[in-house]
Amino acid sequence: MQTPATARLPVGTRLLLFSFSSKHSLSFVFLRRAAPLPALVLSCISSCSTGSGGAVDGGESGGNCVTHQAAQQRKAYPFDEIEPRWQRYWEENLTFCTPDEVDTSKPKCYILDMFPYPSGAGLHVGHPLGYTATDILSRYKRMKGFNVLHPMGWDAFGLPAEQYAIQTGTHPKVATMHNIEQFRSQLKSLGFSYDWDREISTTDPEYYKWTQWIFLHLLKQGLAYQAEVPVNWCPALGTVLANEEVVNGVSERGGHPVIRKPMLQWMLKITAYADRLLEDLDDLDWPESIKEMQRNWIGRSEGAELKFTVIDACGCELGVTLSVYTTRPETIFGATYLVLAPEHSLLASLVSEGQQKHVGKYCDLAARKSDLERTDLQKEKTGVFSGSYAKNPASGEVIPIWVADYVLGSYGTGAIMAVPAHDYRDHEFAIKYNAPIISVILPFVKNLELDVPYAGDGIVMNSSNQSIGLDINGLSCKDASSKVIDWLETTGHGTKKVNYKLRDWLFARQRYWGEPFPVIYLEDTGETVPLPETYLPVTLPELDDFTPAETGEPPLAKATSWVKTIDPISKKSARRETNTMPQWAGSCWYYLRFMDPKNSAALVDRSKERYWGPVDIYVGGAEHSVLHLLYARFWHKVLYDIGVVSTKEPFQCLINQGLILGEIEYTAYKDKEGRLLSADSDCNFSDYIQERVPAEKVIKIGDFHVLKDNPTIHLTARAYKMSKSRGNVINPDDVVSEYGADSLRLYEMFMGPLRDSKSWSTGGIEGVHRFLARTWRLIVGPPLPTGLYTGGTVITDDEPTLDQLRSLHRCIAKVTEEIQETRFNTGISAMMEFINAAYKWDRQPKCIIEPFVLLLSPYAPHMAEELWSRLGHSSSLAYERFPEAKTEYLKDSSIVLPVQINGKTRGTILVDEACSEDEAFRLASSDEKLSKYLLGKTIKRRVYVPQRILNVILETQKRVRS
């Protein structure tokens, strides 16, 4: 349609179009008047006539209509117009908003991502992998008639924001809000169907009010307490660090020395739930590897706790008894020395005067090591003699007591009986320090050569002491263990014991940016007083300086007016707790708040929790397999016990997505003279110079990557985890700008199985981008000479052929199965096969293309919405029924049978070649198009010619004369 400004211009008139750039330079473009003028040119001319300066995107765009047109021609399809339009539509129409009150008679599906920490770096292309998977599942479930809960929020308390605040003076809240806005914008640009009305942040006081509420109930249940425990203390930073924040004995931030020292800390008694955390794993649909990691972390073991009397070098008792835990009490006669952890509470009382200096020096060195370093099986064992001895209660032998850092004070009793003949660490230590080695287990396998300690099962030997009535020689290890435990309990030398590797959760940090504890301490007595629930939330005070106090107190100690308070019950003077909760706190229960995010009266409404819980599908990285998942399960069980939740477990199904690595990097090796060396050579490559080789200079021959110019030179090819330091981070914003969000989504799913790690490839995304462009052109038609597209489609109303029906329903069956099994890459392959087949057809019937668009929509929602609209639909396809495959079209022996009504063909049905007359009539009667001719009519007879035709003759109605 021509505008008034151009309607009077004759064909052939030369038009002068102009635009101003941001530098105020004037661009002139001459076009010859065509008939009709392209819509884009008309738009530009109309802008000129209204005084806009002719700039397509406004006066500051710096472009002109021809530049814009050329850009459109370069694009495979107009994703840059389609995607923002549908993102606005979804937001304005609240398309994915889950109502506060839903029809609870419908099935539900709660699909959740492990919510992200909003860092200043923003997203990289690895983040959307899991988010795209959950989005596909969410869109699919909506189309299958489920009520879907698919929210997003922010795990926003954390050390990085506080580090940034210390470095720049920017308040953590300001930096955090900026990062959240960036993350939110990036996620929305990818078209994820989150219910943004339920967005939460752990830093919102209305959220952490309930984190504090949970803590009060933990305190009430005796599950929160204070204790003096060894912690990673960094004097330079003035704070306790988590184990993961300590690398090689120094702080991850700043590289400052870290020591182990006892400090009074808040602890959570997760060990009280150890057995339930173990037992309930069996009922979860989780990867077995993750469940096994949790079992190992909990580390339940059965054994015995033995008592050893401590004596000095002269044989005099020191009045000290050491308790030792062992999982193998049957080896007691093989115990030739004891080992104490450097932090053992009784160490000071049993070290001899001559050894105090040596033991003190050793303990200082041990305090600078992390638990991981100390227990590393590969590290050389070290220790120091305490100067004291103990009496083996079974053998009566006097054995030395050593101090060694391979024993941890946090495990068992912090002391072990060393049996070097049957334990690898004890054996290595005994060899180094010349301790006796006594074998007490004979392997079941005869003639087994034992160059290393034997830690297996067998028959007990060398284990008898008639004077105390204990003889276990000749018994199996299991029977001997039971007999030793009975003897220990009878004589008072010990007892049967169940132990766990799991330690109580250290729940305090000396930081500002975290949830304040809802407790106060009375000034006169120091008594700990929990605040009444009506006083929640306890909010953070405003601070300008976020460094720890010079005295080593947390940053909150500087807020003196906030620290000084009054007990609301007794009205006595009190002070607030200046530690804050760890980042894990807010992420322990956020899935519950998503069910009812605006509830000011309760953590979650019980009826909503009963409907939505538990989370049906939980997707996130395997790096959270132990800590976050274990902590969340613990809190959930506590909430279950006090009646807040109705399920024993929070996450029914867990899926771990793999990593997306950077693009493959190719490396060549050169000697000092610059000569290339093949990577398959038997050389020490540390002596050679490494050189990165651009991908365009590499070719793959067989299993090897080689230089194009010299195929004899093999290269190493490896993909690395994305990181700024390697410079291999891919920003999703750049990908979306060049290829569109649908292409990014599709490619991340097409790269390989969701759970596997895979490397990024720009060439790969170009492939799926071409597939989307082919889909677009198949349905919309080819572009006009201008590069633009018409507003409709080239789809017809023709009846489908059998081949078309078979192609469609095979695609439906495959895509449906692969979505349900989260094999998204093979589902995409099925859609690609369909498009390849469709390009061979003369016509594309609407009844074939529409179901395909619905199949595509969970993967490429922007394009699908646009195509659905162009196919004549006025509303979103988000809640359209997902296509269902008809089994008759999945059989190769099916034929199309014409159906006549009173001799006139009214449609066709797909039947098996051996179909009976009754079956053919049943199919015709159930067909939507044919049934309307039969409804309420009397059938006179049926004429059926197998594989040829079905003719239904109806009774004719006699006309009544008026």
* pLDDT for the residue numbered 396: 94
Q: What are the C-alpha distances in Å from 279 to residues 31, 115, 252, 275, 276?
A: 77, 27, 36, 6, 5
The size of the chain, in residues, is 962
Residue with tokens 């939507």: 928
Residue with tokens 């009709």: 36
CB atoms within 10 A of CB 932: 10
Q: Which of 737, 716, 596, 592 is nearest to 664 (CA)?
A: 716
861 Cβ contact partners less than 8 Å away, ≥ 6 residues apart = 86, 139, 191, 193, 742, 878
Q: Which fold has domain 895-954?
A: Ubiquitin-like (UB roll) (3.10.20)
Maximal CA-CA distance, the chain = 133
Rounded Cα gap, residues 627 and 554, in angstroms: 24
DSSP string, 305-370: EEEEEEE-TTS-EEEEEEEEEES-GGGGGG--EEEE-TT-TTHHHH--GGGHHHHHHHHHHHTTS-
Give the gyration radius of the chain's Cα atoms. 37
Burial class (CB in 10 A: 0-12, 13-18, 19+), 962: exposed
Q: Which two tokens stand for residue 410?
A: 């946090």
> Nearest 10 degrees: CA dihedral of 62, 64, 68, 74?
-90
Query: How many whole angstroms from its chain centre is CA 191?
Result: 19
Rounded Cα gap, residues 200 and 183, in angstroms: 13
- Indicate the helix (H) or strand (E) that contains 565: strand 564-566
The 3-state DSSP class for residue 425 equals: helix
Rounded Cα gap, residues 206 and 732, in angstroms: 32
Phi-psi region of 238 (alpha: psi -120 to 50; beta: other; left: phi over 0): left
Q: Which of 840, 726, 957, 340 is nearest to 718 (CA)?
A: 726
Report cis status (omega within 30 of 0) of the bond before 554.
no
pLDDT averaged per 10 residues in sequence order, the chain, 962 residues = 38 38 35 35 33 33 41 74 98 97 96 93 89 98 98 92 87 95 96 98 98 98 92 77 72 81 90 97 96 94 96 93 96 97 94 96 86 74 96 96 92 93 94 95 76 87 95 96 97 94 90 96 96 97 83 86 96 96 95 98 97 97 88 98 98 94 88 82 76 89 89 87 80 94 97 92 91 97 90 94 93 98 97 97 96 98 98 97 93 85 92 88 90 90 93 78 50
Phi-psi region of 85 (alpha: psi -120 to 50; beta: other; left: phi over 0): alpha
Domain 765-889 architecture: Orthogonal Bundle (1.10)
Q: Which two tokens stand for residue 639?
A: 């909430």
Q: Which two tokens stand for residue 860?
A: 């490429």
Strands in 39-185 per DSSP E = 108-113, 147-149, 153-154
Strands 14-20 and 26-32: antiparallel
Evaluate if pTM is beyond 0.75.
yes
Strands 949-954 and 894-901: parallel
Q: Which of 946, 912, 908 is nearest to 928 (CA)?
A: 908
DSSP letter at 682?
Answer: S
* pLDDT for the residue numbered 960: 53
Q: What angle do CA 526, 531, 534 make, to 5 degrees?
A: 165
CB 23 within 8 A of CB 769: no
Domain boundaries, the chain: 215-278+504-583, 300-500, 660-760, 765-889, 895-954
476 Cβ contact partners less than 8 Å away, ≥ 6 residues apart = 457, 458, 459, 460
The 3-state DSSP class for residue 548 equals: coil
Rounded Cα gap, residues 826 and 716, in angstroms: 30
* pLDDT for the residue numbered 122: 86
Q: Which two tokens stand for residue 304?
A: 């015995």
Q: What angle do CA 779, 780, 785 make, to 5 degrees?
A: 140
Q: Dihedrals φ, ψ of 173, to 5°?
A: -65, -40
CATH class of 300-500: alpha beta
Rounded Cα gap, residues 286 and 650, in angstroms: 12
Report cis status (omega within 30 of 0) of the bond before 614.
yes
162 residue type, one letter? E
Report cis status (omega within 30 of 0) of the bond before 329.
no
* pLDDT for the residue numbered 447: 64
Q: What are the C-alpha distances in Å from 717 to residues 560, 684, 691, 695?
A: 58, 17, 12, 10
* pLDDT for the residue numbered 151: 98
Rounded Cα gap, residues 517 and 64, in angstroms: 60
Strands 250-251 and 246-247: antiparallel
Q: Which of 266, 281, 271, 256 is nearest to 227 (CA)?
A: 266
Q: Dihedrals φ, ψ of 666, to 5°?
A: -110, 135
681 residue type, one letter? S
